[in-house]
């Protein structure tokens, strides 16, 4: 598919940071000022639906999603982790792994809903600092899959 934002290999700094890349997938730390620690697991080839993948590819992808979730939980200590695969706007397989806190800007709604509150700047600063530990934690969690 042409013009798919998830097919491109390069990330602009404002979009996020590439944490890990394998033959089939990559993991991005999304640059979201309201949700530090937000990660995205992206299938490298342009594929729209999970059932377009083989059973082995599905298992591989979900093992990566679970490894990222585990690392996010360990590093960020969220109240909850949201895992979502929508693809309505971008029909390219990708999973969102989002640490959620009762005081985050969107709680209790989804990360794409209207803001319901403002998170204290000191808490956001602390979470952004913690999120800097995610690349190493995610790489370690993925290495443990082998």
Number of domains the chain is built from: 1
The answer as to whether 1 is a domain residue is no
C-alpha angle 126-144-39 in degrees, rounded to nearest 5 = 40
Closest by CA to 95, choosing from 73, 66, 54, is 66
Q: Which residues of the chain have pLDDT under 70?
A: 1-2
Res 1: pLDDT: 56
Domain CATH code at residue 80: 3.30.428.10
- CA–CA gap between residue 118 and residue 106 (Å, rounded): 9
Edge-to-edge, what's the strand order for the sheet holding 25-30? 16-21, 25-30, 39-43, 94-100, 80-84
**The model scores a pTM over 0.85:** yes
**Backbone region of residue 87 per phi and psi (left: phi > 0; alpha: psi in -120 to 50; beta: other values):** left
Point out which residues pair with 78 in neighbouring strands. Answer: none
Return the pLDDT at 71.
98
d(CA 70, CA 134): 11
**Structural domain range at position 83:** 16-143
């Amino acid at each position: 598919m042409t013009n798919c934002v998830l097919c491109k290999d390069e990330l602009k700094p404002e979009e996020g940071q590439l944490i890990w890349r394998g033959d089939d997938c990559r993991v991005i730390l999304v640059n979201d000022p309201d949700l530090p620690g937000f990660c995205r697991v992206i299938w490298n080839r342009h594929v729209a639906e999970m059932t377009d993948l083989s059973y082995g590819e599905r298992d591989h992808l979900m093992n990566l999603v679970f490894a990222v979730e585990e690392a996010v939980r360990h590093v960020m200590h969220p109240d909850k982790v949201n895992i979502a695969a929508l693809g309505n706007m971008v029909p390219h397989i990708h999973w969102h792994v989002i640490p959620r806190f009762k005081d985050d800007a969107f709680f209790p709604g989804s990360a794409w809903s209207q803001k319901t509150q403002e998170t204290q700047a000191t808490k956001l600063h602390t979470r952004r600092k913690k999120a800097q530990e995610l690349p190493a934690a995610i790489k370690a969690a993925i290495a443990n899959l082998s």
